[in-house]
Homo-oligomer: A and B are copies of this chain.
Amino acid sequence: MGYDLKEFYDGLVQHGLIVPVGVPGAFGRGALFEEVLERFNALVSELSRTDGAESYTFPPVISRAVLERVKYLESFPHLCGAVYSFFGDEERAKTLAARAGAGEPWAEFLGMTDVVMNPAACYPVYPSFTGTLPEGGRLVSMLNWVYRHEPSPEPTRMQSFRVREFVRAGSAAQVLEWRDSWLQRGLTLLGSLGLAAKSEVAADPFFGRGGKLLAVNQKEQQLKFEIVVPVISAADPTAVCSFNYHQEHFSSAFDIRTADGDRARTACLGFGLERVVMALFKAHGFDPAAWPPEVRRRLWP
């Protein structure tokens, strides 16, 4: 396979791995796609088995107040997804239904609810850390659906996808040591699956001209790393795992303190599960039965 994004997308569809749904980045996943995803996720669980992480699952929507509190809209307004619903009476409902039925705009009929799409797998957990952490800090594992408003025909750029996430809260030393050890773990894991994985310093996709400065600052301070693998381009490989050191961003917003009373630090890492699966299909072909024996042994031990 060359690096043609349409050819790769069409291949995924033709092999029943994904199912188009009429909007970009929200396709269905077939049974084999899901099996590979679950197998990879199980390898991540196995790697972290003795780390003592607490495990949670959060819904794809979170409290709107969390987005407001962490100032998400200052940095990523273009990626947000807020859930709107109908609060009107029967007359207004009739007009709404008539409009929608006639293919006319109906945006004005809905109002904002108290929930928004979860934009990052780790967001719902920080409010639950409010207060004083135990001596060794906290470590939490999650598998959540996240949403980003970036419709694209590029298969790895999804509006809705799953992230296997870990969050560490504690002192700066605890958090950074943990992040560095996982950077190595991630590279080793992905390499063992025959993926040409490498790590690099990265920046978040901040909005607008002002965002460019934020990105430069983030890179200078080395606050974000990504593990990248070629999927739709050799020159511009795709991030399949992302590591963020938040310093005091979330601990300030939610008043999280270490056992000795200092402001805590937090970091997170997340494997983009669909992207890892796509990287595997890209590297080894659309038929897992024909994947290299060492890769098959890792995923189907």
Residues in chain A within 8 A of chain B (CB atoms): 19, 21-23, 26-31, 33-34, 54-68, 71, 73-74, 77-88, 90, 93, 96-97, 100-101, 103, 105-107, 109-115, 117, 124-125, 127-128, 145, 147, 149, 151, 158-161, 207-210
- The docked-state distance in angstroms from the alpha carbon of A64 to that of B24 is 12
> Are A73 and B100 touching (Cβ within 8 A)?
yes
Q: Can you give 24 A-B contacts (C-beta < 8 A)? A: A21-B58, A21-B128, A22-B127, A23-B64, A26-B63, A60-B61, A60-B145, A61-B81, A61-B160, A68-B101, A68-B103, A73-B86, A73-B97, A74-B101, A77-B96, A78-B86, A79-B85, A80-B85, A82-B83, A84-B110, A84-B112, A107-B111, A110-B112, A115-B160
Contact A57/B29 with A151-B114, A159-B115 known, Cβ cut-off 8 Å: yes
Give chain A's interface secondary structure class.
mixed
Could you tell me if A85 and B82 are in contact, using CB atoms closer than 8 angstroms? Answer: yes
Inter-subunit contact A110/B82 (CB<8 Å): yes
Copies in the complex: 2
Chain B contacts for A128, CB-based, 8 A:
19, 21, 28
